[in-house]
Chains A and B, each alone.
Chain A
Amino acid sequence: MSEQIDDLIKSHYAAGFVTDIESDTLPPGLNADVIRFISAKKNEPEWMLEWRLKAYRAWLEMVEPHWAHVSYPDIDFNAMSYFSAPKRDEDRPQSLDEVDPKLRETYDKLGIPLHEQEMLAGVAVDAVFDSVSVGTTFRKKLYEAGVIFCSISEALQDHPELVRQHLGTVVPQKDNYYAALNSAVFSDGSFVYIPKGVKCPMELSTYFRINEAKTGQFERTLIVADEGSEVSYLEGCTAPMRDENQLHAAVVELVALDNAKIKYSTVQNWYPGDEEGKGGIYNFVTKRGVAHTNAHISWTQVETGSAITMKYPSCVLKGDNSIGEFYSVALSSNFQQADTGTKMIHLGKNTRSTIISKGIAAGHGSNTYRGLVRMNPGATGARNYTRCDSLLIGDQCGAHTFPYIESKNPTAIIEHEASTSKVSDEQLFLCRQRGIGEEKAVSMIVNGFCKEVFRELPMEFAVEAGKLLEVSLEGAVG
Chain B
Amino acid sequence: MDTAIATDDPGAPVESYDRLGRALARAYRLPPLAVAGAVLVLAAVAVLSAVTGAAGLPVTGVLSALAGAVPGVPVESTLTERQEAVLFQIRLPRLALGMLVGGALGLSGATYQGVFRNPLADPYLLGVSAGAGFGAVLAFGFGLDLGWGPFGAVPAAAFVGAVAAVTASALIARGSWSSPATLLLGGVAMAALFSAAQTYALQRLDETRAREVLSWLFGQLNTSGWRQIGIVGPYVLVCGLILFVHRRHLDVLRVGDDEARSVGLDPARTRLILIVTASLMTAAAVSVSGLIAFVGLVVPHLVRLLVSSSYRVIVPLSAVVGAAFLAFVDIGARTLVAPSELPVGVITAFVGAPFFAFVLWRGAARDLS
Q: Do A and B bind each other?
A: no
Residues of B within 8 A of A (CB): none
Chain A positions near chain B (C-beta within 8 angstroms): none
